[in-house]
Amino acid sequence: MTITHYEELARTVKEVVAKQKVTDMHTHLYSPNFGGLLLWGVDELLTYHYLVAEVMRWSPIDYEEFWALSKQEQAEHIWKTLFLEHSPVSEACRGVLTSLEGFGVDVKTRDLHQFREVYARYDEYRQVDRVLELANVDHVVMTNDPFDDEERPFWLNGTAPDSRFHAALRIDPLLNDYARSRERLREWGYAVEEEWTEQSVKEVSRFLTDWIGRMKPLYMAVSLPPSFAYPEDSDRGRIIRDCILPVSRERSVPFAMMIGVKRGVNPALQSASDSVDKASLEPLEYMLKHHPDNKFITTFLSRENQHELAVLARKFRNLMVFGCWWFLNNPVLIEEMTRMRVELLGLSVIPQHSDARVLDQLIYKWKHSKEILEKVLIEKYHDVLRTGWTLERSEIERDVADLLRNNFWRFIGREDMIETAGN
């Protein structure tokens, strides 16, 4: 079908984006057979750290008093303060309502007890099936930390994730706190030495290789501070140089860096305590330039870094820019960043990931993000039509499939996972 008019274009883009399944390439979710690691339900939605930080702006409750409450009591306090005593207009609050409404909960009742009764009808397996269906997500990439004492036993026991859930090897403790991680490695039989020697290089590389073999991750990932520098004469710099980059290249496991998080700005907020700052892109540029055979998947947390990142991606095809991370996951910023990336990089990016920590968040994260993507694509396709160019529906289906799933699978070398547009 040839498209020549705006009304036809807008209708087609909305239909195609709504229909297209998503591969969510970065989440903090878990396969349903990973026990209590998978978070879901209304109480988890309400106690998400975005809402904890927001409620503290209104509530006189002491931090210690709040954390002493049970999960249900925390949820009730947040519901009362942010939803009943004030209108829930923040993106975090709206996200809860979109998730509840999408799941079939009548939010007009404002009855938290009734909401809980709806979720009580499900177990984690049925919940996963239902949420993935509602969010139109076909595959989910987890965040998997071998240093996590609760998660590690699942992998050591040979637990295989649900086929829709894929591992990503998280290496924050290794890179950001090697002094402590070195002791853990020794406990697990990796003979790293006190100094950074050839033996240490060999053993850290063996640790990475062992976990790649165990998890079969789609990429290795790390969150890095705004002060991140490379090359650098530090534990982190040496491990990246001698272990991460060689193993990443040899095992064809891309290195994903999420840069710009300031940890623990207000420790009293616990999981909600982190903040953001601008970072230098020079370390990334150095890696791209000096390691052309490595693949890098990268996002930055500060709005101020986004233009430079998009320009850098124009220069290096071994860089895949992805998502609107954390504090950037607000509609005004998502729209700005998506438009800028499309204008600079065309359709060769991964426009969004959910970063979901609670399963049900997939519903709102993708509903809200798809609405913004529709808006940007309609505008950009219309610009093309005004030149006299024509578009076919099949071309729009191809483009949207690339943006929402195929660009990721293609970049990491999984051609077997690429699907024909419209399917």
Say which amino acid occupies 174: L
The maximal CA–CA distance of the chain, rounded, in angstroms, is 68
pLDDT in tens, 196-249: 999 999 999 999 999 999 999 999 999 999 999 999 999 999 999 999 999 999
Percent of residues in the chain assigned helix, strand, coil, to nearest 5: 55, 10, 35
pLDDT for 421 equals: 65
b/e for 36-62, b at 16 or more Cβ within 10 A? Answer: ebbbbbbbbbbbbebbbbbbbeebebe
Within the chain, which residues score under 50 in pLDDT? none
- β-bridge mates for residue 275, sequence order: 262
**Contact (CB, 8 A) for 344 and 314:** yes
Instruction: Say how far residue 192 (Cα) sits from the centre of its chain.
Output: 32
Segments in 136-197 forming alpha helices (H): 152-156, 172-176, 178-187
Superfamily of domain covering 2-417:
Metal-dependent hydrolases (3.20.20.140)
**Contact (CB, 8 A) for 406 and 50:** no
b/e for 74-93, b at 16 or more Cβ within 10 A? Answer: bbbbbbebbbeeeebeebbb
d(CA 389, CA 376): 18
pLDDT for 359 equals: 98
Could you give the C-alpha distances from 96 to 84, 91, 138, in angstroms and in order? Answer: 13, 9, 22
Q: Model's pTM, two decimal places?
A: 0.97
pLDDT in tens, 334-353: 999 999 999 999 999 999 99
Query: Which residues contact residue 191 at a Cβ distance below 8 angstroms, ignoring those fewer than 6 apart?
Result: 199, 203
d(CA 281, CA 266): 26
**Sheet of strand 22-24, all strands in order from the earlier edge strand to the far edge:** 22-24, 137-141, 165-166
**Contact (CB, 8 A) for 181 and 173:** yes
DSSP code at position 144: B
Say whether the peptide bond before residue 231 is cis (omega within 30 degrees of 0): yes
d(CA 51, CA 41): 15
